[in-house]
Amino acid sequence: MQPEYQYKELSKGVSLLTIHDGKFKSNAITVRFLTGFNRRDAAALALIPAVISSCCEKYPTGKEFSQRLSALYGTSVSGSSDQKGDIYEIAFSVDYLDDSFALNGEDISAQACGLLNDCIFSPAIENGGFAKTEFEMRRNDLLDAIDGEINDKISYALNLAYETVYHGEPSAEKYYGTREDVEKITPREAYEVYKRLLETAKVEISFCGCGDYKRLAPFFERFADGKIRKSPAYISYSRCKQTPAQVEKLMNVAQANLVLAFKPQIHDIYTAQVMSMIYGGAPFSKLFANVREKLRLCYFCSAMYSEPKGTMFVVSAVEEKNIALAEKEIVNQLSLVADGDFSDDDIASAKLALTSRMKAVGDRVFSLDGWYNLCLKRGEIISPQEYSQRLNNVKHEDIAALARDMKLDTVFVLKNGGEPCEI
């Protein structure tokens, strides 16, 4: 049985999406604040979710907050920050056992929802800013995460490449700004940013689970304050450069990391997913079978499609002596796809890999919630099954046509020499 979903606008820029699925025993409520990326506010926005979701005015310490969660059958509250294309998304969630499974008939829903309400609207404040101790703990956590980015060289190189691929666009920036920005931000400054977020950001509320969301209407309606709220579009395609950018950066690495970015004029997310899988998204792909296995030009080589920006990336780890050859062969393999040099079995394997992923979407409350929220951002709410059917409708000629439309935008190389680059 398919989940039942409903969508409605509570006010301009405030929406409520409900997904009901009786197979779950729990419910999840997520409140997402969407705003445009602003380098000035990035550090604060990166920290706010962790601070907000770890304490509140009523339970001002991490210990008190955890005890309250434990008393509610292990209810969890979480926060996250993320760049999705040119959108900055701040999310707060509560996940709790449905009332029907409580041992003594407790109203867990109201209490869990009340706790999320306290976190969002009554955070722990001191001296006109977020509580200092908790804020500094979360800032140190973020700084540790930033320092750890260098350990994953592929991701590190990809983040550096974004600066060139999306030059002049919000997506060129890191979601936290810079390490220096994080170090300098004060509890008071972060709280001022948070207050502006509450007043101006678009709000997307979602309820997913087996319970009765109508009982929680007062919480949802609190956000329908009549304020004008807007955010940039989720889809914001990036134009391809007339001449591909060639960028090389040095740091102490054992092997070079090569990133190629391709941008099309045709934008079809279903065809793009299938094409990138055939090209370099799986062990049966052309990049894996030829560049890695047959020619042994790299240790790792994979393609992935970025939906919000309409960009396909190829990332690889290569020996320095093989950089030029690897680049040439990566481009050559895309040309073969453009010429239609792939089989019906390749298409079937790609579709099977993609649709198998979709089957798992409904296994957990948060993955199902995430799926329907993504659909909302795309502007069309469809089930995972409908999405899989559209993938299956992609034809051989569609794939070849999109590959022909892919133009090289950027070649980025991170190779040995010098100190770590800043991101």
pLDDT for residue 390: 97
Q: For residues 314 and 242, give the distance between their C-alpha atoms in angstroms, rounded to a whole number.
A: 19
Q: Tens place of pLDDT for every residue, the chain, 423 residues? A: 788 999 999 998 999 999 999 999 999 999 999 999 989 999 999 999 999 999 999 999 999 999 999 999 999 999 999 998 899 999 999 999 999 999 888 899 999 999 999 999 999 999 999 999 999 999 999 999 999 999 999 999 999 999 999 999 999 999 999 999 999 999 999 999 999 999 999 999 999 999 999 999 999 999 998 787 887 789 999 999 999 999 999 998 889 999 999 999 989 999 999 999 999 999 999 999 999 999 999 999 999 999 999 999 999 999 999 999 999 999 999 999 999 999 999 999 999 999 999 999 999 999 999 999 999 999 899 999 999 999 999 999 999 999 999 999 999 999 988 665 555
The CATH architecture of the domain made up of 245-416 is 2-Layer Sandwich (3.30)
What pLDDT was estimated at residue 233?
Answer: 87
Identical fold, 4-221 and 245-416: yes
The predicted pLDDT at position 420 comes to 55
Burial tier of 97 (Cβ tally within 10 Å: 0-12, 13-18, 19+): buried
Q: What are phi and psi of 338, to 5 degrees?
A: -60, -30
4-221 to CATH, choices 3.40.50.300, 3.90.700.10, 3.30.830.10, 1.10.3720.10: 3.30.830.10
Length of the chain: 423
In terms of phi and psi (left: phi > 0; alpha: psi -120 to 50; beta: otherwise), the region of 282 is: beta
Q: Which residues contact 363 (CB under 8 A, 6 or more apart)?
A: none
Q: Whole-angstrom Cα distance, residue 297 to residue 316? A: 10
Q: Which residues contact 184 (CB under 8 A, 6 or more apart)?
A: 43
Identify the three-state secondary structure at position 409: strand
Residue 419: per-residue pLDDT: 62
Distance separating alpha carbons of residues 161 and 398, to the nearest angstrom: 29
pLDDT at 422: 56
Instruction: Kindly list the domain boundaries of the chain, sorted by start residue.
Output: 4-221, 245-416
In this structure, the number of other CB atoms found within 10 A of the CB of residue 119 comes to 25
